[in-house]
Amino acid sequence: MTNLKVATVLLICLLSSPVAMGQSNSCEIVPKGLLGEPHSEWRGFYDNKVYEYSVVIPAGLVGYDVAPPAPLHGFGIPLGEAPQSYIFVSGEWNSLEDSDPVDVAVRHLRYLREGGKTIESATITISRLGELRAAELAVSYACAGSNVRYMQFSTFALASDGGTLYEITLYCLAERYALDRTVLIKVLQSWKRRAKRKAGGQCSEVCLFGA
Amino acid sequence: MKGSATRPSDLGTTKTLMLTMAAKEGGWNDVGLNHNMPLNNPFGINRIERGKAVGNVKYPSLEAAISDWKGQFGDRVRGAQTAADFVHGLQHPQTGQPYNTDDKKYAEKFNNISMAKWMKICGVEP
């Protein structure tokens, strides 16, 4: 991946009061309920025909998602020993109509602040996800009343038609970041966008998937 | 949404929240709509095959899709008047798997969809 730094924001939110409107105000790394029953498990090659991407879950790891009928966006991988890290892989409709992945990264940084996190450093860089232009968000943060440092490293990309938003995020303790990033890189490098739908709403395999 | 079985008021929730749900999961851009409109699937409901999610359900009608969603998730959002209550209900059911818990930012994403603004612009009554 080639990175062109476009913005570096240091100690970005220290002067701002947290706004308690977000839901992600806990410091749990792996979401509660991820392994509740029923759930789906994925290993190895993962192909999401609804959001048109594929990725490889590294050997020895498992991706978990809620069981249907909830929509299938992707999965989450708990990583390592407790306290586990977490890699989240997702595709979703671009419901907020973003035109640039940098805007997505900025908004996710805002989510952290609104969730009451203390942002220690944040960097947004331009990158690639597969063939797509992407934005990488690297944030170091702490939770209220705690000296424990966490890292969030996210890659956001928009499909060339702008209709679908992709996200791959690593959440971990800061001290685990260097180790877990090697796994994240494997996931990022394996990510591919599926073939596009045909014009005029006609589909090939994608429509067969939902039929 | 027509018919007594499909009104948001049946659940004590709001049209705005249900339309937000549809925009989030069914999509309201061309790509999302091109995928889910032929399936009559406004909420992106998934189907199971051999215990795994294999794609979006094709419903015979929009009313059938809404009734199915109501049966699957309606109790979770019953009475919800705010986005926070709506998502909290989805993700904290008394029974069943929490909704899309793998996405730690799901609530924030839902909250950021400006459905009320667009309903006003388009003349849709709340």
User: CA-CA distances (angstroms) from residue B28 to A13, A96, B62, B114?
Assistant: 33, 10, 15, 12
Q: What's the whole-number average pLDDT of chain B? A: 89
Position A196 scores a pLDDT of 60
Residue A23 lies in a domain: no
Residue A35 lies in a domain: no
Beta strand pairing call for B52-56 and A63-66: unpaired
Q: Band the pLDDT of B52: cuts 50, 70, 90.
A: low
Rounded Cα distance between B17 and B82, Å, is 8
Instruction: Give Cβ neighbours of residue B49 (< 8 Å, ≥ 6 apart).
Output: none
| Most B CBs within 10 Å, among A19, A95, A205, to test the B interface | A95
Residue A117 lies in a domain: yes
Residue A203 lies in a domain: no
List the single residue in B34, B47, B101 with the smallest CB-CB distance to A33. B101
Contact criterion met (CB below 8 Å) for B11 and B101: no
Q: pTM of the entire structure?
A: 0.86
Over residues A81-101, the mean pLDDT reads 96
**Residue range A126-161, pLDDT digits in tens:** 999 999 999 999 999 999 888 999 999 999 999 999
| Most A CBs within 10 Å, among B36, B48, B97, B113, to test the A interface | B97
List the single residue in A34, A111, A197 with the smallest CB-CB distance to B105. A111
Contact criterion met (CB below 8 Å) for A123 and A5: yes
Closest listed residue to residue A42, CA positions, set A71, A67, A69, A65: A65
- Return the domain boundaries, chain B: 8-121
**Residue range B89-106, pLDDT digits in tens:** 999 988 888 888 899 999
Q: Please answer yes or no on whether A66 and B58 come within 8 Å at the CB atom.
A: no
In angstroms, what separates the C-alpha of B92 from chain A's closest C-alpha?
9
B8 preceded by cis ω (within 30°)? no
Q: Please answer yes or no on whether A201 and B38 come within 8 Å at the CB atom.
A: yes
Question: Percentage of residues in chain A with pLDDT exceeding 70?
Answer: 80
CATH no. for B8-121 = 1.10.530.10
Contact criterion met (CB below 8 Å) for A152 and A170: yes
Residue carrying the six token digits 């009559």: B40
Q: What's the whole-number average pLDDT of chain A? A: 84
- On whether any CB of chain B is under 8 Å from the CB of A4, the answer is no
Chain A residues in contact with B109 (beta carbon < 8 A): 92, 95-96
**Residue range A21-50, pLDDT digits in tens:** 344 557 899 998 888 777 889 999 999 989
- On whether any CB of chain B is under 8 Å from the CB of A204, the answer is no
Rounded Cα distance between A157 and A104, Å, is 9
Tell me, what CATH number does A59's domain have? 3.40.1000.10
Say how many domains are in chain A.
1
Range of the domain at A75: 4-17+42-178+185-194
